[in-house]
């Protein structure tokens, strides 16, 4: 009989997710565990830390949902995973993006996690750069210069290094991706 991921999880030596999350939060304030033994204010610090973790988890969930949409999954399938209706999932996580007043914008759609980088490369040569994204789309803004786009999986400090080389973050990212763009010195190759 084939074991399920839940079976493998229960026999794994890796601590449960709650323990790993607690450890990660306590790394943010290494003295918090000791302070909780005698300092009532430490509990307020714990609340702040857990609230930050909750906000990060909410951002990761939104990113995961938008990533699932970008990969072609339906709102119905996403709703089933989340234990809610298709409509509730779409209302909670549905598309939307920033717009800049007076800028020439367009939607690049439909794109998926599998073809969006090629589509962004083509758009970038024509002077379009992403200013926002959602499931199956990127919101593009016109420029007179060419742009290049980059997608990173769960980046860390490399984003800081890329920023030193002119890369700009696009939006807040969505789990597990972070998007960046960089303006080039070449004039845009305008579409016919």
Is residue 30 located within the same domain as residue 61? yes
Q: Which parts of the chain fold into alpha helices (H)?
A: 5-11, 17-28, 32-35, 40-70, 75-82, 86-93, 116-125, 158-164
Give the up-direction half-sphere exposure of residue 181: CA atoms within 13 A in the CB hemisphere. 25
Do the domain assignments include residue 67? yes
> How many whole angstroms separate alpha carbon 116 and alpha carbon 124?
12
Cα 89 from chain centre: 17
- Closest by CA to 36, choosing from 49, 27, 28, 45, is 45
Same domain, 24 and 67: yes
Which range of residues forms the domain containing residue 128?
105-187
Residues in the chain, overall count: 192
- Domain shared by 138 and 172, yes or no: yes
Q: Is 33 helix (H, G, I), strand (E, B) or coil?
A: helix
What confidence score (pLDDT) does residue 88 get?
Answer: 81
pLDDT at 62: 81
Q: What's residue 79's pLDDT?
A: 92
At residue 73, the pLDDT reads 86
What is the Cα–Cα distance from 74 to 98, expressed in whole angstroms?
A: 23
Residue ending a domain, among 34, 68, 93, is: 93
Show pLDDT as tens, one digit a residue, over the chain (192 residues). 444 545 444 455 657 888 888 888 888 889 988 998 899 998 899 888 888 888 788 877 887 887 788 778 888 999 999 998 888 887 777 754 444 445 688 888 888 888 999 999 999 999 999 988 877 888 888 889 999 999 988 777 788 888 889 999 888 776 678 899 999 999 998 763
Please check whether residues 138 and 77 belong to one and the same domain.
Answer: no
Number of other CB atoms surrounding residue 93 within 10 Å: 23
DSSP state of 84: S
Q: Which pTM value belongs to this model?
A: 0.53
């Amino acid at each position: 009989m084939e074991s399920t991921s839940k079976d493998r999880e229960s026999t794994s030596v890796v601590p449960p997710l709650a323990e790993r999350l607690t450890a990660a939060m306590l790394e943010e304030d290494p003295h918090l565990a000791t302070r909780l033994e005698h300092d009532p204010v430490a509990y307020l610090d714990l609340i702040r830390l857990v609230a930050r973790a909750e906000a990060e988890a909410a951002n990761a969930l939104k990113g995961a949902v938008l990533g699932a949409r970008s990969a072609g999954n339906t709102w119905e399938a996403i709703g089933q995973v989340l234990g809610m209706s298709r409509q509730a999932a779409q209302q909670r996580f549905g598309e939307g993006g920033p717009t800049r007043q007076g800028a020439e914008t367009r939607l690049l759609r439909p794109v998926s996690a599998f073809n969006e980088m090629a589509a962004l490369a083509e758009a970038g040569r024509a002077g379009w750069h992403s200013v926002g994204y959602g499931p199956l789309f990127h919101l593009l803004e016109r420029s007179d210069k060419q742009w290049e786009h980059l997608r990173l999986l769960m980046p860390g400090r490399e984003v800081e290094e890329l920023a030193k080389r002119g890369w700009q973050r696009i939006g807040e990212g969505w789990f597990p991706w972070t998007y960046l763009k960089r303006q080039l010195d070449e004039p845009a190759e305008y579409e016919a």
